[in-house]
Structure 1
């Protein structure tokens, strides 16, 4: 079917650059500008890939603070997510 392969693993978040309040993320291989659906404990958000990373072993995605807040993962810091 499409190129959207399901993945799961650990997500963290970063306070880096980007427009305030934007739902963006860093992924190693997905095309820049593509939209990824990230799910964690019954919540799902959509974020746009605008960076490369994460470069920490075992992590599949780094989310912007707004995306992390929308997923409800601010307190945990690192959570297991699935990507679509």
Structure 2
């Protein structure tokens, strides 16, 4: 229970914190359901219900705040894959993240990406920690 509370607190701080190290804007898309259960570039299985994303260069496990520039909705995702492979796009998000961003109907959205400071990345429990 303490772990869940810690994660929620860190995500809340991250969403409203100035502690970001890089930001950019561009077009986001989301994964097709056909990738469910397939291996990502990090070796994890893609799960449409997890808040994950594909980015061409950010290190795996980097946390990124993705904000839909049209409606202001934001979500924190963890990079666990490479892509997108369409040059006009800057990130592919999971279906769960796409729902939070309200981009399921359009399939694409103009977004702002903010990479969280290393302090926050190290504070989130890793998938293999207890």
Matched, 1:36 2:34: no
With normalisation by structure 1, the TM-score equals 0.91
Structure of higher RCO (CA pairs closer than 8 Å, 6+ residues apart) = 1
Secondary structure of 2:22's counterpart equals: coil
How far off is 1:20 after superposition? 4.4
Shift of 1:58: 1.1
Q: 2: distance between equivalents of 1:43 and 1:82?
A: 11
Q: Which of 104, 118, 122 is equivalent to 1:74?
A: 104
Q: How does 1:35-74 map to 2 (within 5 A)?
A: 35-40=63-68, 41-74=71-104
Segments ≥4 residues shifted beyond 4 Å: none
Is the counterpart of residue 19 in structure 1 residue 47 in structure 2? Answer: yes
What corresponds to 1:10 in structure 2? 27
- Bigger Rg, structure 1 or 2: 2
Query: What is the alpha-carbon root mean square deviation over aligned residues?
Result: 1.5
Structure 1: unaligned runs, 5 residues or longer = none
Give the TM-score, by structure 2 length: 0.60
Q: Secondary structure at the residue paired with 1:76?
A: coil
Structure with bigger strand share is 1
The 2-side partners of 1:12 and 1:20 are apart by 13
Q: 2: distance between equivalents of 1:29 and 1:35? A: 13
Structure 2 unaligned regions, length at least 5: 1-18, 37-45, 115-130
